[in-house]
Copies of this chain bind each other. A is one copy, B any other.
Amino acid sequence: MPRRPQLSNAARPSTFTVEARDESGEAVPTPVAGEHPLTVYVDKQEILTLMTLGAAPEALTIGWLRNQRLVNSLDDIVAVNVDWEVNAVAVTTRNGLVNLEEKMQKRTKTTGCGQGTVFGDLMADLEDIKLPADARLKEETLFGLLNNVRLHETIYKQAGAVHGCALAQGENILTFVEDVGRHNAVDAIAGWMWLEGVDGADKIFYTTGRLTSEMVIKAAQMGIPFLVSRSGLTQMGYEIAKQVGITMIGRAVNRHYLLFTGTDRFVK
């Protein structure tokens, strides 16, 4: 297991209450989700600004660097310090970032409005991904997980403006991250997996959000054979899921689901 970096512990409250007026004219105190800019500095160089709920800013930062492949292992990160006074996170690395200039250049050209990440880059490495063929998920395990997710979704129930992602082993949720953007939540999971030394091969990735191309690619890159969503999917999400052979399940609520791809790993 790699050396763990020095970390701040700067989670913010997830919801705030504002006053609204409803159709009956009543004042209604309404919880809303937090949304904060967090500017990432690596070795004192400004990289970008993330908009985040702020629930897991250290894991988010590490996972973003991981998923952009700007760092190759957790061992390259010496410290991650979040300071909400200035809405910034300072990352210290051992040897700098990997191909920063080239990747920033590429990002400039390929960042999509609906994607917010290095799409061309993500696609490039797909062919190297081998997901475990012998992993299995039983239907009853899926139902157990869906029930555990339902019990877990506290912020969504309160404020209704966040997406949630969970990493599970069997029906047990190992970590659950919520954020204002799906991409942040999946990045924070990737950061958590590095910090905890957790491998994806026997895990299930659950998301409340839609299964777009980017979600499928990131789950596959984390080496996770099972991808489950409460929501629908897109055509490109479907095509990529077929290509990488991930087991993809959508519309998963209570005891209902639709199994789209990678059916051999699913056991009724």
Interface residues of A (CB under 8 A from B): 16, 18, 20-23, 25, 28, 30, 32-37, 46-52, 64, 104, 107-117, 119-120, 139, 159-161, 179-184, 187, 210-214, 231-238, 250-251, 255-260, 263, 268
Contact = CB atoms under 8 A, between A and B. Distances in A.
Nearest to A213: B35
A23 B249 CA distance: 11
A16 B235 contact: yes
B114 A111 contact: no
Contacts of A35: 212-213, 234-237
A115 B255 CA distance: 33
B115 A236 contact: no
A128 to B, nearest CB: 20
The SS class assigned to the A binding surface is mixed
A32 B260 CA distance: 11
A258 B49 contact: no
A110 B49 contact: yes
Contacts of A114: 50-52, 116, 179-184
B110 A108 contact: no
A233 B161 CA distance: 6
Contacts of A212: 35, 51, 161, 180
B51 A268 contact: no
A179 B25 CA distance: 34
Nearest to A236: B35
Given A16-B235, A32-B234, 9 more contacts: A21-B263, A36-B236, A48-B111, A50-B113, A51-B112, A51-B114, A114-B182, A160-B231, A161-B231
Query: 7 smallest A-B Cβ distances: which pairs?
Result: A114-B181, A35-B234, A161-B232, A116-B116, A20-B258, A160-B232, A35-B236
A89 to B, nearest CB: 13
B37 A112 contact: yes
A260 B20 contact: yes
B52 A18 contact: no
Nearest to A47: B109
Contacts of A49: 109-112, 119-120
Contact of A113 (B25, B184, B211, B236): B184
Nearest to A20: B258
Contacts of A234: 32-35, 161, 180
